[in-house]
């Protein structure tokens, strides 16, 4: 199943910079591993904000929940999820 996921990060202003950097480094490693595996298919930065739009390819809602809740930045995120399905006019066979 494909999911469109919007994530906005809201780090506390009083979070020490060293701690924030450590969390961001873990987040980067985790997200890149998921991208290499094909689970996190697309990742785009939303210009002008600490947000992204992502496409995940997972078996079901439970797998997506497990992945997203495992993000090191998860406690600091506002997340919106939309399930996707193939459009009948789509021409690419590999986007299902």
* Fold held by 2-78: Alpha-Beta Plaits (3.30.70)
Tell me, what's the pLDDT at 83?
A: 96
* Cβ density class 63-84: b for 16+ within 10 Å, e for less: ebeebbeebbbeebbeeeeeee
Query: Domain extents for the chain?
Result: 2-78
Residues 11-24 pLDDT 10s: 999 999 999 999 99
Report the distance separating Cα 8 and Cα 71, nearest Å: 13
What is d(CA 28, CA 32) in angstroms, rounded to the nearest whole number? 6
Distance CA 69, CA 78 (A): 12
Q: Which residues contact 63 (CB under 8 A, 6 or more apart)?
A: none
Q: Specify whether the CB–CB gap between 34 and 43 falls below 8 A.
A: no
pLDDT per residue over 26-75, tens digit each? 999 999 999 999 999 999 999 999 999 999 999 999 999 999 999 999 99
Question: Which pTM does this prediction carry?
Answer: 0.90
């Amino acid at each position: 199943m494909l999911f469109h996921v919007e994530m906005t990060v809201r780090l506390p202003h009083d979070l020490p910079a060293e701690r924030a950097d450590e969390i961001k480094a873990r987040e980067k490693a985790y997200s890149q591993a998921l991208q290499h595996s094909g689970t996190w298919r697309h990742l785009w930065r939303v210009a002008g904000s600490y947000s992204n739009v992502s496409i995940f390819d997972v078996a079901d809602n439970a797998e997506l929940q497990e992945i997203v809740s495992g993000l090191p930045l998860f406690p600091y995120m506002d997340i919106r999820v939309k399930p996707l399905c193939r459009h009948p006019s789509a021409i690419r066979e590999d986007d299902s």
